[in-house]
Amino acid sequence: MAETSFPGWHGTTIIGVRKGGQVVIAGDGQVSIGQTVMKGTARKVRRLSPGGHDVVAGFAGSTADAFALLERLEAKLEATPGQLARASVELAKDWRTDKYLQKLEAMLIVSDGTDIFVITGAGDVLEPEHDVTAIGSGGNYALAAARALMDSDQSAEQIARKAMAIAADICVYTNGNLTVETIGA
């Protein structure tokens, strides 16, 4: 019998949109295990304030793993106040090299209102080229929708909400119960 990881973790769509001096991170509320929706109102987007510097983070993947990563990110931000890029790189390095952290199954989108990054367990800290990024099972749908809307007159929040609605219509692991956090101007 082949070894399998925890059964069927699917779900979550998280999007980050930067436009007009603001960054919006939005996430759906669905938690699915296999074919079953376990919860529809989870909060997968959080505001962190280490050292008085606001950072917004959204996560896809295992909730417990994501919270472990968010705690580590907060510690990195406290050690490097106001330096999200440096804290993100330090977290990615630890995640890639620490035997405990290597087993964590999650991804993060983080922003301080200026920069926006995707942090992965492969050691990546990625900044989007087109001011939009998305992760999770519906991430590609939300990303495509948001990129198509970026030239419109809509605000970052309007784009994020519309892109999430499109992803929820397409991806069975994404719902329309959103948590939306705005940071920046």
Say what the pTM is.
Answer: 0.90
Catalytic positions are 12
Amino acid symbol at 40: G
Q: Is residue 99 part of a domain?
A: yes
Total length of the chain: 185
Q: Which of 114, 121, 149 is nearest to 135 (CA)?
A: 121
Q: Is residue 1 part of a domain?
A: no
Read off the pLDDT of residues 79-100 as tens digits, 9 standing for 90 and up. Answer: 999 999 999 999 998 888 877 7
Print the domain residue range for 89: 9-184
Q: Is residue 3 part of a domain?
A: no
Number of domains in the chain: 1
16-36 exposure pattern, b = at least 16 Cβ within 10 A, e = fewer:
bbbbeebbbbbbbbbbbeeee
Read off the pLDDT of residues 24-51 as tens digits, 9 standing for 90 and up. Answer: 999 999 988 888 888 999 999 999 987 7
